[in-house]
Amino acid sequence: MKTACLLLTMAAVSQAKLMKPKSHYEADFKAHLETHGMKFSGTEYSTRLSIFAANDDAIEAHNAGDSTYTLGHNQFSHLAFDEFEAMYLSEPAPRTEGSRYVNAFEGVTADDSVDWATTDYVSDVKNQGSCGSCWAFSTTGGMEGAYMLKYGSAMVFSEQQLVSCDTDGEDQGCNGGLMDNAFQYIAANGLATEESYPYASSSGKAPKCESFTPVEGTKGIKYTDVANDDASLAKAISQQPVSVAVDADFHWQLYRGGIFTKTSGTKLDHGVLAVGYGTDGQDFWKVKNSWGDSWGEDGYIRMQRVPDQKDGPCGITSSASYPTL
């Protein structure tokens, strides 16, 4: 049924009225294919060109307005949003409320601004490929920050171990998961390095679990949920990067840069890593994504920070957590 729905969506996009003749978009589309190593032929080429053209129109229309952020072409420009959503987003398992300790950081004062991305607390931007494994990348990001906090040395952890081996509970590999569940798995099993267990699910399929050697100190970790409010999240980020989930919409797909102010809903479908906050004309959260460094601001997005908004913009405050080694 999902495939049929995607085909219908693609057909609708291909028939949509464009701002310019299709020939106007073809040179840019060919450059897009060359840049990203893609090849299409026949009907699919025409359909992809139409989708690219519709996205080009959406980019131009948005950037012509008075917005604090811009959209732009990237590796996802040939995809309709329904396709993108099915391939790159997921539905994190709901966090069980009231089942464990939630930290509101009472008595803690948050720093005025934080940017862990400029430190060894945060590894280079990674790329999940067409696997809904964002939850695993958010989890390893939290672990990398916690390891640096504990031991004072940088460590890059394995997403593939989580995608392939954390399968006995609610986490579902390329079909979604939740960072809290992954932290529970790590507490019982430990976590290997990315070098010893490299990522192999970019195609959207997860290989079977292989044997691994966990990094000393990762087994037996604890994790803490952050209270669902702006101030608590800021206090948490003041001490280390924090795993969060957001509701990512069409503008996430084509985000280029600036402070993202389009507030989508709170249907959490994407796990990311909150690495800082600050002010640039307005307050923002700085978030590390897992769609490669050609997306957004070198792989990051700055999201508008709205202290009194329930669940925060795109739900960012509603499912935050961090591990402790």
Residues catalogued as catalytic: 134, 270, 289
What stretches of the chain show up as alpha helix (H) in DSSP? 2-14, 22-35, 42-63, 81-88, 134-151, 159-165, 179-189, 230-239, 250-253
Neighbours of 248 (CB within 10 A): 26
Q: What is the DSSP letter of 106?
A: T
Chain Cα centroid distance, residue 196: 24
Residue the block writes with tokens 């950037």: 63
Find out whether 239 and 149 touch, Cβ atoms under 8 Å.
Answer: yes
Question: What is the dihedral sign for C-alpha 9, 14, 15, 17?
Answer: positive
* Cα–Cα distance for residue pair 273/288, rounded to 1 Å: 5
Q: Which residue, chain included where needed, has tokens 């939630």?
A: 102
Please name which of 239, 281, 297 lies closest in space to residue 119, comparing C-alpha atoms.
239
Pairwise CA distance, residues 297 & 125, whole Å: 11
d(CA 294, CA 196): 26
What proportions of the chain, in percent to the nearest 5, are helix, strand and coil?
35, 15, 50
Using the 8-state DSSP alphabet, how is residue 175 labeled?
Answer: B
Cα→Cα distances 229→183, 263, 308, 321, Å: 22, 16, 8, 13
Alpha carbons 81 and 249: distance in angstroms, whole number = 8
